[in-house]
Amino acid sequence: MFKNYFKTTIRNLRRNKGFAFINIAGLAVGMAAAILILLWAQNELSTDRFYKNESRIYEMYNRDKDAAGNKWAWPNTPKILATTLKNDYPEVEDAVRYNNVTFLLTQGEKHLNVQGAFADSGFLNVFDFPLKEGVSKQCLGSVYNIVLTEKLAKKFFGNENAIGKTVRIDSVHNCTVTAVLKDLPPNTQFNFEYLLPWSYMDKIGWSDSSWGNNSVFTYALLKPGVSQAAFDAKIKDITINHTKGSSYPSSTDVFTQPLSRAYLYSKSENGKLSDGPIKTVRLFLVIAVFILLIACINFMNLSTARSEKRAREVGIRKVLGAQRIKLIFQFIGESILFSLGSFLIALFIVKISLSGFNTLVNKELAINYSDPVFWLFAIAFVLISGILAGMYPAFFLSAFKPVKVLKGTFKKAEAAINPRKVLVVVQFTFAIVLIISTLIIQKQIQHTLDRDAGYNRNNLVYIFGQGDIDKNFTLIKNDLLKDGSVVSITRSSNPITRRWSDSWGFIWPGSTKQDEKTDFVRLGADADFVKTIGVKLIAGRDIDVYNYPTDSTAVLLNETAVKSMRLENPVGTIIKSADNNTEQWHVVGVVKDFILESPYQKDINPMIIFGPAGSSGYVLHLKLNPANSTASNLAKMEKVFKEYNPQYPFEYVFADESYARKFDDTRRTSKLSSLFAGLTIFISCLGLFALAAYSAENRLKEIGVRKVLGASVFSITSLMSKDFLKLVIISFAIASPIAWFAMHKWLDGYSYRIAIQWWIFALAGLISVLIASATIIFHVLRAAIANPVNSLRTE
């Protein structure tokens, strides 16, 4: 029986190549898109879920209230938390800390600035990243140990065994390689190429035991059977208890987040970890389902549109004794066969487009063909889309009454609401929602790009202070100014495009207890901050420790800080730390607000720019001389840095490039939504194209009669186009509120945002009507121009 069905299908395919192509191509493209999204979603959902003890690992979180009473949660914890948990709480099997760091690593003549991390000796027992060489036990056991990833080991030692060899850290200490890890999988949040023991951090004096310095990540491995709720209740007040009676008691709660949720639910909403990448994953899964559905709709539509051609076959088979159920199986089987063919083509499309998609989403996704789960999934995928696509045609086609179709009295039922039309409306609704969303996302990006950052990013570079830069800073500065490559330099505590530090607990004349909760972003400067960065000074003067020695304790405030501190005459105000009255700062100037963090954030946070006594000069900012070419400036700079800091490679970052990276995420969303919008439109148009063809064919006689009666080509064209464009307009009417609602929610995530304007909808409507018209015009015109004599003769 199957052979008989199979032959009918294949021969039918061969006879209707155009139909088959549109069906299979549409379904294949839809499936490929769905597969790509599913690969991505699978990667997201499996992030950090592969450790042996995953179910018992928890990330430690803090929770506190800001000055306005809003709760917020964050994962940076005091360094002392891990040791306290391990020593005082029997529920804890192990607690490990993790902190990223970038050191210059030297091996022979090879110098590399590489991101690594400090980790407790138990880190690799808690997170069992697979080893390539060495053993994980004790590999971070003593101060001068280092664990490399395969990639880094290869860079230093080629294919030689790295174990026992030494790597020089920051040109200060030699560390011995005790283990080599396989490269980290793509689905982990950890990002390091080497691990250094925590004791090394102690050794170089970076460690501290303050409960107030929240800087590192802490993970607790709880003993089997320990309940999270009970443990959370027990540790809630751990920070409060340890700071009770100190000069500045903390009000911060501590709680745990299971590792399984650590990535997906990493965004704090009023102190609850209920949001994060999971939202995007859900959104894209919905998109995947819809794209697949739209491709399946093509199948349903084309199959039922061709029903008149298949009706005779159905009638004959019924007369010959086929029961309806067998015909249903035949048609569903047929669509599963289509689905299988499409799936194979989809796999091919995925294969050739995966690298492009990986660049787009910034991941390393791959299909694991050797994984039986993949094949199980593939079978399910083929069956589900086959059944989904074939269900409606199967029931529709198999219901024909043989007497009617065989006597030639069969006419397609012109129901008031033709299911085929409903399906086209579903397709176009989705396509139009995506078009509107894409337009709004792009508008939002442009709007934010156009926003004045409040400083001048042109010709501004920053350089991380490594090695001897700090020691030779004055010499470097003088040489750079002298050779004309740079017009000004400022030493700051962090790059102008990033927030590294913030603190609260300040008092000033007139401040209240509540004000001590006001969180200030911290920045640092020695001199020429205003000139180099290009911010606007609106009161007082710039910090300048070289001309005013007391400026070491000077600060600049931004406008928002002045406002939230309610200062009438900010310049000259003395600011003190609430916990330490000896530390005090005097305000020398006020700068206009500028964007340090996200340009999508409407309200700039209050900021204090500290003089050198309150900040470390980690980062140099340099304004290149606009009179010279950038290349010659950089060449001169390189010479200077090589002279005073010979061990280290000359590395710099352009502020404008760094600023542009703030848009990476939204740009990615924009690109993805354009991609999916394009695909949806493509697939929908394939379907519309074929439907137009069938409609033209079915109405051949009607058109012939109309032409004989004197209808013009134009009137016939508009008559036929109207039918299709009506559907597009209905889709538009349905899509607009959906898109408005969805985009309203999306824009809610950005406090600096556009208002949704009506013309975007008008444009989207116009675009969809134009695309739909272009799709159907070929068949419509061909039908309209045809000589009626030919069409009438065939009847």
Partner 1 sequence: MLELKGIYKWVNTGNHRTFLLKDVDMTVQAGEFISIMGPSGSGKSTLLNVIGMLDEFNEGEYIFMNESVHKLKEKQRSSLYKQYIGFVFQAYHLIDELTVYENIETPLIYQNIKTSERKAMVADILDRFQIVGKKDLFPTQLSGGQQQLVGIARALIANPKLLLADEPTGNLNSKQGEEIMNLFKQLNDEGMTIIQVTHSEKNAAYGSHIINLLDGMIQKN
* Contact set with partner 1 (CB under 8 A): 1, 4, 7-8, 11-12, 15, 312-313, 315-317, 319-323, 326, 402-403, 406-408
85, 95 contact by CB (below 8 A): yes
Euclidean distance between CA atoms 457 and 466, whole angstroms: 23
Amino acid at 235: I
Catalogue the E-assigned strands of 628-737. Answer: 653-654
460: β partners: 623
Cβ proximity to partner 1: between 11 and 563 the closer is 11
Taking the complex as a whole, how short is the minimal distance between the CB of residue 316 and partner 1, in angstroms? 5
Shortest Å distance, C-beta 317 to partner 1? 7
CA distance 335 to 389: 7
Q: Considering the complex, what minimum distance in angstroms separates the CB of residue 321 from partner 1?
A: 4
Cβ contacts of residue 32 below 8 Å, gap of 6+? Answer: 345, 346, 347, 349, 350, 353
User: Are 515 and 565 in contact, with CB atoms under 8 Å apart?
Assistant: yes
Question: Which single residue is written with the structure tokens 């309209």?
Answer: 784
What minimum distance in Å lies between the beta carbon of 2 and partner 1? 10
Give the shortest CB-340-to-partner 1 separation in angstroms: 20
Q: Which is nearer to partner 1, 203 or 326 (CB)?
A: 326
Q: Which is nearer to partner 1, 16 or 176 (CB)?
A: 16
Q: How far is CA 185 from CA 38, 173, 283, in A?
A: 18, 29, 24
Among residues 86 and 324, whose Cβ is nearest to partner 1?
A: 324
Residue entry with tokens 């609850």:
272
Tokens 């064209």 appear where? 717
Which of 317, 621 has the CB closer to partner 1? Answer: 317
Question: 344-351 long-range CB contacts below 8 Å, 24 or more apart?
Answer: 345/24, 345/25, 345/28, 345/32, 346/27, 346/28, 346/29, 346/30, 346/31, 346/32, 346/35, 347/32, 347/35, 349/28, 349/29, 349/32, 350/32, 350/35, 350/36, 350/39
Rounded Cα–Cα distance for residues 451 and 454 (Å): 9
Residues 175 and 114: beta-carbon distance below 8 Å: no
E-strand ranges in 120-216 read 131-134, 145-149, 166-169, 173-181, 194-197
CB of 7 to partner 1, least distance (A): 7
Shortest Å distance, C-beta 315 to partner 1? 7
Which residue lies nearer to partner 1 by CB, 310 or 623?
A: 310
What's the closest the beta carbon of residue 405 comes to partner 1, in angstroms?
9
Name 574's bridge partners. 586
CB of 788 to partner 1, least distance (A): 26
Of 319 and 708, CB closest to partner 1: 319
In the complex with partner 1, the residue whose CB is nearer, 302 or 557, is: 302
**What's the maximum distance between 2 C-alpha atoms anywhere in the chain?**
106
- In the complex, the smallest distance separating the C-beta of residue 436 from partner 1, rounded to whole angstroms, is 44
Reduce the DSSP state of residue 230 to 3 states and report it. Answer: helix
* CA dist., res. 149 & res. 595, Å (int): 36
Measured distance CA(50)–CA(185) in Å, rounded: 10
Report whether 493 contacts 501 (CB < 8 A). yes
User: Containing H/E element for 344?
Assistant: helix 324-361
Q: Which is nearer to partner 1, 312 or 592 (CB)?
A: 312
The least distance separating partner 1 from the CB of residue 406, rounded to whole angstroms, comes to 6
Of the pair 1, 766, the CB lying nearest partner 1 is at: 1
**Encoding tokens for residue 659?**
């600023």
C-alpha span between 786 and 713 (Å, rounded):
9
Measured from the CB atom, the residue of 15 and 722 that comes closer to partner 1 is 15
Q: How far apart are CA 575 and CA 428, in angstroms?
A: 61
Contact status, residue 534 vs residue 455, Cβ threshold 8 Å = yes
Shortest distance, position 24 Cβ to partner 1, whole Å: 18
Nearest distance from C-beta of residue 701 to partner 1, angstroms: 19
Question: Shortest distance, CB of residue 320 to partner 1, whole angstroms?
Answer: 4
Q: Which C-beta is closer to partner 1: that of 10 or that of 708?
A: 10
Nearest CB to partner 1, comparing residues 17 and 513: 17
| Shortest reach from residue 401's CB to partner 1, in Å | 8
End-to-end CA distance of the chain: 35
Minimum distance from residue 339 beta carbon to partner 1 (Å): 20
Task: Report the candidate in 86, 152, 90, 82 with the shortest Cα–Cα distance to residue 119.
Answer: 82
Residue closer to partner 1, measured from CB, 15 or 498: 15
Q: Closest approach of Cβ 397 to partner 1, in Å?
A: 14
Q: How far is CA 669 from the centre of its chain?
A: 7
Per DSSP (E only), the strands in 592-715 are: 607-610, 619-624, 653-654
CA atoms of 410 and 312, how far apart (whole Å): 9
Nearest distance in Å: CB 188, partner 1: 54
CA 126 to chain centre: 27
- Cβ atoms of 485 and 636 within 8 Å: the answer is yes
Distance CA(604)–CA(410), nearest Å, equals: 71
User: Per-residue DSSP letters for 279-310?
Assistant: HHHHHHHHHHHHHHHHHHHHHHHHHHHTHHHH
Strands 253-258 and 173-181: unpaired
Residue keyed to tokens 């760091």 = 101
Nearer to partner 1, 323 or 446 (CB): 323
> Three-state SS for 17?
helix
